[in-house]
């Protein structure tokens, strides 16, 4: 019935809804876009006058740019008054695309209107404005790619042409980078449009689905089906819901105890469900849940009790003398069916299933403990690669107990000084000179022994101690900075790592400001290492990263290449240093591919005035190859192991006495 109702939505209706939504969204953002365009146009005029004064051509360009803004505003006002976005959305989109193209051509003309345009010199700021405007247009115009690209592509073409015409060194390389950015913006714009269209279509189909569910519910009510049945059924799949599951599990354990039998609890998660749901829309997610539940019913049959716990999570309860053996066999059969592609909107979609299960009374004494045990096993299956089943074993509980112990004792370790910091040197490869240190945290627990840094960070996050941990590490870094001048390293920097999750919890910038000011530290010598994830998550971290930049701290991107960085974000945030991930360094002396990547990174860093540091250098061959490829700096066990602050003076003396070491 549900599939029939959604299939009744015809293509013209869907297309009209999509166009109306695109036109409305583009029209809504037009005042903001035009205001920014006008302000930046005036800024460009003023910037061009810094070294050449106000020229006639520059004024003409600014007037033309502002005229396009006024014209586009007038067109937008007329569209709203005549409600073209609702009545003639295609015509509306064409008008706004034309306006965007005219503005883009106006901006593209800017470098050609300025006399003696210095592409890689004093006029480089013009490029930042142009690329920023183009990137902003794409980010704001995800709903309709053609309008966004109509503005952005002429601007980028102008930048590429003027860079290629420039005789300055690096012009052609930067032109290639801008071309690469253009391609990224194009892909991002078209993909964003596809997602928006998919969501709009999903909303229309979801309305039809909701109407179908409403009719089904009315039919059930009209048949006077009992309220008890309704209260214990999942409305989408028809299997038992969470409330009914809790009752069934308690009764199952009671019956198993009375019969001296076993009871097995399996908890299942659909792999990649969120990705499928976000990509194809919620209606597609509902289709996937329905099909998955249908397969689960076929595999389990009448032997077990099936419930949907919420989202994409299901549970199966099996009782009997051989429940444990049956659970293992059942888990394997469920995995086999889960590997078969699902057909969603006439397209094959691969999802998969992860399963964890526990046995009463072997693994737990109560229903609550049995659920926790099965859930631990499920998370172990996910951690080990998904698409598999895992049975609970006591080590999982021991791991959870260990994490709780670390969380409980971390605050005391921070306040007592049991949690310490060590420093790994960073070396300039050409001159073999020390240019900085990275701060690393260490903690030897009195009963658990050495606790790895990732566990410390995770425990701090869980126990709301992230700010206290960062403050303790930053304090250690500041103390080293105060002693470096006496060691002959007045210009060496010291870096600390900041987890992306910390930006959600407190103001990292204000905490670091308070500590560095208390120690009288020059912010230019204090480096903050973040991951690529933090750069891309501008909604959470963006303002704090700007604060960090304004305070004068150095900003480094750690493990560069392990994620998905944006060249535009790197330039916008004024990143000072890129730290190449260890995977590009390991065995580089015999890996042509890694040599090509590192060489390109070194060139990119030079072109963008960013320092490059290779991480994880463990052999002389790796260091020599990096030096030959133009990589300026590195760190790793070959160059220097992490050491307490008290050992740095002796290490430096040893380097002086044995410079080749």
> Is residue 566 within 8 Å of 533, Cβ to Cβ?
no
Judged against a pLDDT cut of 80, whether residue 632 lies above it is answered with: yes
Indicate the domain borders of the chain.
2-202, 232-392, 403-655
Q: Which helix (DSSP H) or strand (DSSP E) does residue 599 occupy?
A: helix 592-607
Average pLDDT over residues 599-611: 88
Considering the segment(s) 403-655 as one domain, its CATH architecture is Alpha-Beta Barrel (3.20)
> Is residue 276 within 8 Å of 286, Cβ to Cβ?
no
- Scan for tokens 């706004």, then name that residue: 96
Q: Produce one character per residue of 134-156: b if its CB has 16 or more CB atoms within 10 Å, e if not.
A: bbbbbebbbbbbbbbbbbbbbbb
Cα 458 off chain centre by = 18
Angle at 334 between CA 279 and CA 361, to 5 degrees: 120
Range of weakest confidence among 124-128, 165-169, 436-440, 512-516: 165-169
Structure tokens at 202: 């999903």
Which is it for the CA torsion 498, 502, 504, 509, positive or negative?
A: negative
Cis amide linkage into residue 428, ω under 30° from 0: no
Q: What is this structure's pTM?
A: 0.49
- Percent of the chain topping pLDDT 70: 91
* Residues 6 or more apart in contact with residue 72 via CB below 8 angstroms: 30, 34, 96, 99, 100, 102, 103
pLDDT digits (tens, 9 = 90+) for 92-113: 888 888 888 888 888 888 888 8
Q: What is the CATH number of domain 232-392?
A: 3.30.70.270
Average pLDDT over residues 305-331: 92
Report the DSSP beta bridge partners of residue 263: 319, 360
Closest CA to 575 of 558, 555, 601, 594: 555
Q: Label residue 231 by pLDDT band (50, 70, 90).
A: confident
> Would you give the end-to-end CA distance of the chain in angstroms?
76
Q: Produce one character per residue of 322-349: b if its CB has 16 or more CB atoms within 10 Å, e if not.
A: ebbebbeebbeebbeebeeebebeeeeb
| DSSP symbols for 39-87 | HHHHHHHHHHHHHH---HHHHHHHHHHHHHHHHHHHHHHHHHHHTHHHH
Residue 91: predicted pLDDT: 86
Residue 535: predicted pLDDT: 54
Residue 5: predicted pLDDT: 47
Report the DSSP beta bridge partners of residue 556: 529, 577
Q: Which helix (DSSP H) or strand (DSSP E) does residue 185 occupy?
A: helix 171-222
Judged against a pLDDT cut of 70, whether residue 573 lies above it is answered with: no
Residue 2: predicted pLDDT: 45
- Scan for tokens 């109407």, then name that residue: 211
Average pLDDT over residues 293-320: 92
Structure tokens at 656: 């002086």
Alpha-carbon span 127 to 133, nearest angstrom: 10
Average pLDDT over residues 401-428: 93
pLDDT digits (tens, 9 = 90+) for 509-553: 999 999 999 999 999 999 999 876 555 445 456 678 888 888 999
Average pLDDT over residues 217-239: 71
Cα 184 off chain centre by = 17
Q: Produce one character per residue of 615-638: b if its CB has 16 or more CB atoms within 10 Å, e if not.
A: bbbebeebbebbbebbbbbbbbeb
Alpha-carbon span 184 to 251, nearest angstrom: 57
- Scan for tokens 């790197």, then name that residue: 570
Structure tokens at 478: 């500041």
The one-character DSSP state at 452 is: P
> Is residue 647 within 8 Å of 628, Cβ to Cβ?
no
Alpha-carbon span 278 to 201, nearest angstrom: 13
Judged against a pLDDT cut of 50, whether residue 1 lies above it is answered with: no
565 to each of 269, 294, 550, 558, how far by Cα in Å? 30, 41, 22, 11
Bridging pattern class, strands 554-560 and 526-530: parallel
Judged against a pLDDT cut of 80, whether residue 122 lies above it is answered with: no
Average pLDDT over residues 184-203: 77
pLDDT digits (tens, 9 = 90+) for 649-658: 999 999 888 7
Residue 280: predicted pLDDT: 78
Alpha-carbon span 637 to 424, nearest angstrom: 9
């Amino acid at each position: 019935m549900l599939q029939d109702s959604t299939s009744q939505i015809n293509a013209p209706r869907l297309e009209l809804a999509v166009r109306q939504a695109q036109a409305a969204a583009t029209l809504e953002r037009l005042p903001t876009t035009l205001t920014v365009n006008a302000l930046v146009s005036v800024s460009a005029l003023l910037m061009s006058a810094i070294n050449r004064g106000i020229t006639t051509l520059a004024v003409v360009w600014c007037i033309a740019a502002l005229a396009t803004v006024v014209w586009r505003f007038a067109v937008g006002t007329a569209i709203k008054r005549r409600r073209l976005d609702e009545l003639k959305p295609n015509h509306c989109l064409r008008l706004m695309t034309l306006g965007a193209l005219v503005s883009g051509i106006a901006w593209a003309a800017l470098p050609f209107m300025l006399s003696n345009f210095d592409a890689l010199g004093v006029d480089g700021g013009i490029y930042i404005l142009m690329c920023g405007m183009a990137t902003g247009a794409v980010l704001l115009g995800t709903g309709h790619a053609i309008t966004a690209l109509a503005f952005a592509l002429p601007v980028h073409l102008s930048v590429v042409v003027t860079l290629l015409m420039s005789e300055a060194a690096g012009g052609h390389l930067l032109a290639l980078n801008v071309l690469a950015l253009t391609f990224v913006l194009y892909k991002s714009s078209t993909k964003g449009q596809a997602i928006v269209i998919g969501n709009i279509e999903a909303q229309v189909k979801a309305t039809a689905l909701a109407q179908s569910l409403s009719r089904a519910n009315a039919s059930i009510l009209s048949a006077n089906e009992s309220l008890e049945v309704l209260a214990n059924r999942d409305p989408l799949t028809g299997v038992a819901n969470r409330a009914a599951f809790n009752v069934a599990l308690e009764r199952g354990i009671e019956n198993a105890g009375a019969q001296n039998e076993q009871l097995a609890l399996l908890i299942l998660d659909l792999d990649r469900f969120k990705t499928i749901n976000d990509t194809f829309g919620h209606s597609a997610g509902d289709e996937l849940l329905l099909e998955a539940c249908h397969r689960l019913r076929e595999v389990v049959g009448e032997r077990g009790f099936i419930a949907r716990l919420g989202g994409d999570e299901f549970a199966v309860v099996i009782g009997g003398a051989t429940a444990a053996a049956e659970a293992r066999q059942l888990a394997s059969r469920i995995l086999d069916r889960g590997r078969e592609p699902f057909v969603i909107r006439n397209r094959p979609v691969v999802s998969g299933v992860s399963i964890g299960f526990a046995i009463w009374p072997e693994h737990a004494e109560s229903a609550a403990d049995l659920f926790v045990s099965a859930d631990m096993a499920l998370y172990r299956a996910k951690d080990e690669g998904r698409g598999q089943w895992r049975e609970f074993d006591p080590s999982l509980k021991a791991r959870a107990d260990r994490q709780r112990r670390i969380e409980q004792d971390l605050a005391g370790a921070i306040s007592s000084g049991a949690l310490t910091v060590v420093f790994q040197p960073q070396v300039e490869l050409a001159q073999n000179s020390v240019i900085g240190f990275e701060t690393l945290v260490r903690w030897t627990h009195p009963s658990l022994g050495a606790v790895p840094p990732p566990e410390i960070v995770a425990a701090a996050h869980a126990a709301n101690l992230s700010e206290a941990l960062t403050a303790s590490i930053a304090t250690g870094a500041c103390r080293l900075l105060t002693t470096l001048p006496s060691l002959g390293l007045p210009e060496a920097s010291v870096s600390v790592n900041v987890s992306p999750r910390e930006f959600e919890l407190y103001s990292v910038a204000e905490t670091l400001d308070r500590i560095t000011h208390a120690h009288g530290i020059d912010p230019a010598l204090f480096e903050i290492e973040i991951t690529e994830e933090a750069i891309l998550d501008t909604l959470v971290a963006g303002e704090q990263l700007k604060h960090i930049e304004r305070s004068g701290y150095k900003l480094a991107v750690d493990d560069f290449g392990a994620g998905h960085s944006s060249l535009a974000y790197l330039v916008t945030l004024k990143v000072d240093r890129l730290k190449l991930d260890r995977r590009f360094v390991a065995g580089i002396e015999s890996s042509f591919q890694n040599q090509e990547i590192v060489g390109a990174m070194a060139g990119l860093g030079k072109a963008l005035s960013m320092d490059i540091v290779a991480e994880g250098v463990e052999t002389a061959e790796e260091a020599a190859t990096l030096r030959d490829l133009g990589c300026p700096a590195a760190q790793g066990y070959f160059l220097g192991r992490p050491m307490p602050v008290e050992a740095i003076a002796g290490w430096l003396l040893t380097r002086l006495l044995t410079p080749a070491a």
